[in-house]
């Protein structure tokens, strides 16, 4: 059974049996997280960029569990210097793993690390195609990502201020054409307070998709 658990902000955990991938594992200091990072078990950790609300607890979890950090080359090198297992990729590149593959997509955002770039991920997880946008503004090449990959689940930021707001995220849905959308990167702090219900209503009325709102700590089956 394939499931995704939301730890709040952009922190998700994809699980299928013994295989688990964390995305942007921001636990400590995340006001909406309910999980104990010391108890998290995973095999892989995808890190979209090195801002502290995304790199989060990646290094300590990777050291404790032996999980492989999958990220852009600069972050992967830094993780290896810290003593973690890591696999570096770069924008447009993909690599096969036991669960499927990971491909790095562009993201319009800061890298949080010298010489790097922020990214998103297309992940084939046991034949489910997941697009994790990372922190990004709206960009028209999302249309290309949607044309190339039949996206089952798009994880899109809606918080505004640092990333797309809800209106641009609705526009992104039109470009990506995902079957299901899961909003993220909102209501962590007052500065990114948004109504996911309004985003759901707008996106579903404009495009043929389902928006699934997950409460932090909640899990859905994929
Ligand atoms: Ni950021
Ligand atoms: Mn962020």
Domains and CATH numbers, the chain: 2-221 (3.60.15.10)
Distance of alpha carbon 71 from alpha carbon 59, whole angstroms? 12
How high is the pLDDT of residue 192?
A: 98
First to last CA, the chain: 8
State the distance from the centre of ligand 2 to the C-alpha of 10, rounded, in angstroms.
Answer: 8
How high is the pLDDT of residue 150?
A: 98
State the distance from the centre of ligand 2 to the C-alpha of 162, rounded, in angstroms.
Answer: 7
Q: What does DSSP assign to residue 54? A: H
State the distance from the centre of ligand 2 to the C-alpha of 184, rounded, in angstroms.
Answer: 10
How high is the pLDDT of residue 118?
A: 98
Ligand with smallest separation from the Cα of 49: 1
CB 26 within 8 A of CB 65: no
Output the tens digit of pLDDT for each of the chain's 222 residues: 999 999 999 999 999 999 999 999 999 999 999 999 999 999 999 999 999 999 999 999 999 999 999 999 999 999 999 999 999 999 999 999 999 999 999 999 999 999 999 999 999 999 999 999 999 999 999 999 999 999 999 999 999 999 999 999 999 999 999 999 999 999 999 999 999 999 999 999 999 999 999 999 999 999
Q: What is the pTM of this model?
A: 0.98
Contacts of 73 (CB under 8 A, 6+ apart): 88, 89, 90, 116
CB 182 within 8 A of CB 176: no
How high is the pLDDT of residue 92?
A: 97
How high is the pLDDT of residue 102?
A: 98
Ligand with smallest separation from the Cα of 53: 2
State the distance from the centre of ligand 2 to the C-alpha of 190, rounded, in angstroms.
Answer: 14
User: Is residue 181 classed as helix, strand or coil in its secondary structure?
Assistant: strand
CB 173 within 8 A of CB 209: yes
State the distance from the centre of ligand 2 to the C-alpha of 143, rounded, in angstroms.
Answer: 23
- Please, which residues have CB less than 5 A from ligand 1, an ion? 51, 135
State the distance from the centre of ligand 2 to the C-alpha of 51, rounded, in angstroms.
Answer: 7
State the distance from the centre of ligand 2 to the C-alpha of 167, rounded, in angstroms.
Answer: 18
Nearest residue to 136 via CA among 149, 123, 127, 145: 145
How high is the pLDDT of residue 169?
A: 98
Nearest residue to 57 via CA among 21, 15, 85, 29: 29
How high is the pLDDT of residue 95?
A: 98
Burial class, 168, CB count within 10 angstroms (exposed 0-12 / middle 13-18 / buried 19+): middle
């Amino acid at each position: 059974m394939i499931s995704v658990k939301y730890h709040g902000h952009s922190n998700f955990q994809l699980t299928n049996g013994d295989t688990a991938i964390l995305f942007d594992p921001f636990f400590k200091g995340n006001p909406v997280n309910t999980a104990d990072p010391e108890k998290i078990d995973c095999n892989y950790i995808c890190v979209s960029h090195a801002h502290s609300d995304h790199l989060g607890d990646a290094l300590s979890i990777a050291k404790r569990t032996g999980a492989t950090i999958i990220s852009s080359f600069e972050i992967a090198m830094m993780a290896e210097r810290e003593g973690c297992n890591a696999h570096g990729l770069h924008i447009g590149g993909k690599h096969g793993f036991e669960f499927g593959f990971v491909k790095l997509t562009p993201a319009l955002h800061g890298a949080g690390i010298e010489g790097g770039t922020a990214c998103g991920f297309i992940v084939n997880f046991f034949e489910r195609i997941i697009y994790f946008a990372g922190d990004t503004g709206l960009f028209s090449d999302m249309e290309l990502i949607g044309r190339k990959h039949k996206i089952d689940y798009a994880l899109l930021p809606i918080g505004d201020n640092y990333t797309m707001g809800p209106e641009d995220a609705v526009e992104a849905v039109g470009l990506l054409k995902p079957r299901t959308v899961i909003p993220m990167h909102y209501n962590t702090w007052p500065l990114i307070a948004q109504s996911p219900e309004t985003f759901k209503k707008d996106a579903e009325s404009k495009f043929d998709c389902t928006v699934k709102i997950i409460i932090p700590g909640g899990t859905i089956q994929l």
